[in-house]
A = this chain, B = another copy of it.
Amino acid sequence: MTEEATAGAQANQAVRERLLAEGLRLFTSKGYAGTTVREIVEAAGVTKPVLYYYFNSKEGIYLELMEGAYTIFGERMRELVGKSGSARDRMEILCLGIFDAFLEFIDVARLIYAIYFGPAQGAPQFEHDQAFDWMLDAVRTVVAEGIASGEFRPGDPADMTWVIIGCLNVCMEEQLCRNDPRINRDDTKRMLALILDGISRGDAK
């Protein structure tokens, strides 16, 4: 493969990536129906048939963005699961890891949330619950192990799981919905500690 071939392949990818980046930005800020193909291609600096060349349709680029978003979060979840240590430590690593991933890929996250809560608006169907369910399963696993090991109190693992998820969820949502979020990572850590203090065994303060 010559250097020319590499440059050509890279030019391909550059156009494609530009379209995806602009598509992500615009779908996120305007929604599926509110975003036109014209504005995506104009932002990417190409003409309209180029989008159809690479993605076949408006739906095509949208679905590719969705698949990419879920892939990113799935990989990050896998990295965060399977750590070792006390249940409390692992919970902290897991939740703050999720929070950090959220911030790192906040545009992607915003798109996922927008789809999850937002109206369908003619967008093609996609399995929407996956990212949330991954999170739920991971937290539930750590809770169950904490109860089994005696580190957390006996109780309903589902309740504990949902309280933790609720806390993490509201912290993440705050990052999405405000230019000046009222909750940061340290707040999240403290709030998590408050919950874990409450469900830990040997809590006699």
Closest-CB distance, A67 to chain B (whole angstroms): 19
Bound-state Cα–Cα, A163 to B164, Å? 8
A162 touches B191 (CB 8 A): yes
Select which of B160, B203, B205 is within 8 A of A194 by beta carbon: B160
Q: A27-B119, A33-B33, A34-B119 are in contact. List 20 more A-B contacts (CB 8 A).
A: A29-B119, A29-B120, A30-B119, A31-B120, A34-B34, A114-B118, A114-B119, A117-B118, A117-B177, A159-B187, A159-B191, A159-B194, A162-B187, A163-B163, A166-B168, A166-B171, A169-B173, A194-B199, A195-B195, A198-B198
Q: Is A8 an interface residue (CB 8 A)?
A: no
CB atoms of A120 and B34 under 8 A apart: yes
A-B contact pairs, 16 of them (CB 8 A): A31-B31, A31-B34, A31-B119, A31-B120, A31-B121, A33-B34, A34-B119, A117-B117, A118-B119, A129-B177, A129-B178, A153-B205, A162-B170, A166-B170, A166-B171, A203-B203
* Residues of chain B within 8 A of A85, CB atoms compared: none
A9 at the interface (CB under 8 A from B): no
Name the B residues within 8 Å of A199 (CB-CB): 194, 198
Q: Tell me if A195 and B119 are in contact (CB < 8 A).
A: no
Alpha-carbon distance between A117 and B115 when the two chains are bound, in angstroms = 9
CB proximity to B under 8 Å, residues A63-91: none
- Provide the bound-state CA to CA distance between A33 and B163, in Å: 35
At the interface, is chain A mostly helix, strand, loop or mixed? helix
User: How far is A194 from B29 in the complex, measured between Cα atoms in Å?
Assistant: 38
| Distance in angstroms between the alpha carbons of A84 and B159 in the assembled complex | 27
- Judge whether A105 is part of the interface by a CB distance below 8 angstroms: no
A156: B residues at CB distance < 8 A: 190
List residues 134-183 of chain A with CB under 8 A from any CB of chain B.
153, 155-156, 158-160, 162-163, 165-171, 173, 176-178, 183
